[in-house]
Amino acid sequence: MDAQRLKDNFAQVAQQGDAVALFFYSDLFVRNPHLRDMFPIGMSGQRDKLLRALGRIVSQVDDLPRLVPFLQQLGRDHRKFGIVAEHYPHVGASLVRTLKYFSGPDWTPELEQDWGAAYGVLAQVMQEAADEDALSTPPWWEGRVLGVERRRFDLAVIRVEPDRQLSYLPGQSVAVELPSRLRQWRFYSMANAPRPDNTVDFHVRLVDGGGVSPVLVRALQPGDRLRMGAPIGTLVLDEASPRNVLLVAGSTGLAPLKAILEQLAQRAAPPPVRLYFGARTRDALYDLEDLRKRAAELPWLTVVATVSDEAPPPPGGSFAMDVRPGPNGALVQVPAPGSGPHDTDIEYGALPDVLARQGSWHGHDAYVCGPAGMVTSTVEQLVRLGVEHSRIRYETFVDSER
C-alpha cells in the first residue's frame, strides 16, 4: 500500500468538498436503500462529519499508533447507530466508487487496490473494537426520565434512570437520542458522580433553532424515554494529582465539573477547590443555589459566581430593594425578600478577567468547560496566570449540541 498515493488521491478528490460526501451517501443509498433509515433527514452535518473523519484517517494512514485508537473509538461509537458487520462492505464499495468517480482519468487499478486494502484494514479495526466492546457493554442504554426541573425558560436539569448499570467517569458525556427526534444524537455530560441508584442528571440549555435541546427543555416530562450511547470524554479528574483544583464553568459547562466536584468530595481529604460558575446574566446562574449550599457545607470548597453581560446593580435603590419602616420610625430600603443569594456576592466581568483578579493560579489543576470562545480565552488566561498548559483539561460544547 502506497500511503502517499492515497493521500495525494484523497487531497485531489477532497477539493470537490461536499459533493464528494453527497455522491458517497447517494451511491450508498441507491445500492442499499435499507441503510437510509439509519441516518437523519437532514444530512449536511453528516457529510461534514464524514469528510472530517476521512480526512483525519487518510492523514494518519501511515501513522497507525495514532490512527488505530481513533478507529477503535469510531467503531465503538457506531454501535449505538445500529451499525453491524454486514454494513461495512457496502460502505467500502461506495467509498471506492466515490473516489473513482471524482478521480476521473487519474484513477488506476493500483489506486483501487490500495483503497480497497486500506478500507479493509479500517473496517477490520473498527469491527474488532466494536465486537470487543460488545462483550462488556450494550450498544445503547434506554433511559426513563424521572424529573425535569426547569430553572429558567431555556435551562433545565433533567434526571434520568438508565435501564442498566451505566458506568462512567465523572466529567464524561453520553450521546442522547429522543424518540421524537430519531437519528439526532446530542452529547450531554452527566452532572453527577455515579450514584448507587444509577440515576444521572443532565443540564440542558435551549439552543434557538436546535433540533433536540428545545424538546429536552420545553417538552420533556417525567416518564418519557430516551436513548443513551456509551459514555465518552477525556475531561476527567486526574486522581493521582495532589494539587489544588480550579473548576471553571460557563453556563451548562457546569455539568461535567459538578460531577468532578462530587468525585473530589468522596476523597478522604479533598484538596482546596475553587469553582467559578459564569453566565451572561444573573438569572442564567441556574444552579448557583445548590452550589452555594454545598460551599456552605464543605470547608474546602469555594464557589464564585460571575456575570459577564450585566452591570453590577447600582448601590442603593433598585428593583431588588424593598422599603421597610426603620427603627427610628423613618422608612429605609432593605434587600427584597426572595431575591436570594443571586444578587449578592457576584463577580462582574468575563470569566478570564475575574480569574485574573485572583492573581496567580500557579500550582493548580484546572478543569474548564463551556462555550468555545469562553474556553479558549479562559485557557489562554490561565496559562498567563501561571497554570501549566498540561495541567489544564478542557472541553467545549460541540456545535451540533443543540
AA identity, residue 383: V
Contacting residue, 15, 44, 167, 344, with other proteins by CB under 8 A:
44
3-state secondary structure of 304: strand
Count of Cβ atoms closer than 10 Å to residue 44 Cβ? 11
Q: Give the DSSP letter of residue 378.
A: H
SS3 per residue for 147-190: EEEEEECCEEEEEEEECCCCCCCCCCEEEEEECCEEEEEEEEEE
Does residue 103 touch other proteins according to CB under 8 A?
no
Contacting residue, 138, 211, 233, 341, with other proteins by CB under 8 A:
211
Does residue 109 touch other proteins according to CB under 8 A?
no
Closest to other proteins by CB, 105 or 329: 329
Q: Which stretch binds other proteins (CB under 8 A): 26-34, 246-254, 267-275, 355-363?
A: 26-34
Instruction: Cite the DSSP H helix spans in 34-108.
Output: 44-59, 64-77, 87-103
Window 313-372: residues binding other proteins (CB under 8 A):
317-319, 321-323, 329-331, 333
Could you tell me the smallest distance in angstroms from the CB atom of residue 41 to other proteins? 6
Window 216-255: residues binding other proteins (CB under 8 A):
218-219
The residues, ordered by sequence, that sit 6+ positions from 346 with a Cβ below 8 Å of its Cβ are: 282, 285, 305, 306, 307, 312
Q: Which stretch binds other proteins (CB under 8 A): 237-245, 253-261, 301-309, 311-319?
A: 311-319
Could you tell me the smallest distance in angstroms from the CB atom of residue 148 to other proteins? 12
Could you tell me the smallest distance in angstroms from the CB atom of residue 319 to other proteins? 5
User: To 5 degrees, how large is the angle CA 169–CA 366–CA 375?
Assistant: 95
Window 149-208: residues binding other proteins (CB under 8 A):
153, 179-181, 206, 208
Does residue 89 touch other proteins according to CB under 8 A?
no
Closest to other proteins by CB, 132 or 322: 322
Task: Report how many residues bind other proteins under the rule CB under 8 A.
Answer: 35
- Retrieve residue 89's grid coordinates: 462492505
Q: Determine if residue 143 is left, alpha or beta; phi over 0 gives left, psi from -120 to 50 gives alpha, anything else beta.
A: beta
d(CA 114, CA 328): 92
Does residue 74 touch other proteins according to CB under 8 A?
no
Closest to other proteins by CB, 317 or 359: 317
Task: Give the DSSP H/E element, type plus range, for residue 250.
Answer: strand 244-250
Closest to other proteins by CB, 142 or 262: 142
Contacting residue, 4, 34, 41, 269, with other proteins by CB under 8 A:
41
Contacting residue, 10, 13, 20, 25, with other proteins by CB under 8 A:
25
Nearest CA-CA partner of 289 in 237, 345, 355: 345
Could you tell me the smallest distance in angstroms from the CB atom of residue 78 to other proteins? 21
Kindly report each contact of residues 45-54 with a partner whose C-beta sits within 8 Å and lies 24 or more positions away, as own/partner: 45/400, 46/21, 47/18, 47/21, 47/22, 48/21, 50/21, 50/24, 50/25, 51/14, 51/17, 51/18, 51/20, 51/21, 54/10, 54/14
Does residue 17 touch other proteins according to CB under 8 A?
no
Closest to other proteins by CB, 210 or 256: 210
Residues in the chain: 402
Count of Cβ atoms closer than 10 Å to residue 385 Cβ? 18
Contacting residue, 15, 26, 113, 241, with other proteins by CB under 8 A:
26
Could you tell me the smallest distance in angstroms from the CB atom of residue 149 to other proteins? 15
Closest to other proteins by CB, 211 or 271: 211
Q: Would you tell me which residues interact with other proteins (CB under 8 A)?
A: 22-23, 25-27, 29-31, 41-44, 153, 179-181, 206, 208-211, 214-215, 218-219, 317-319, 321-323, 329-331, 333
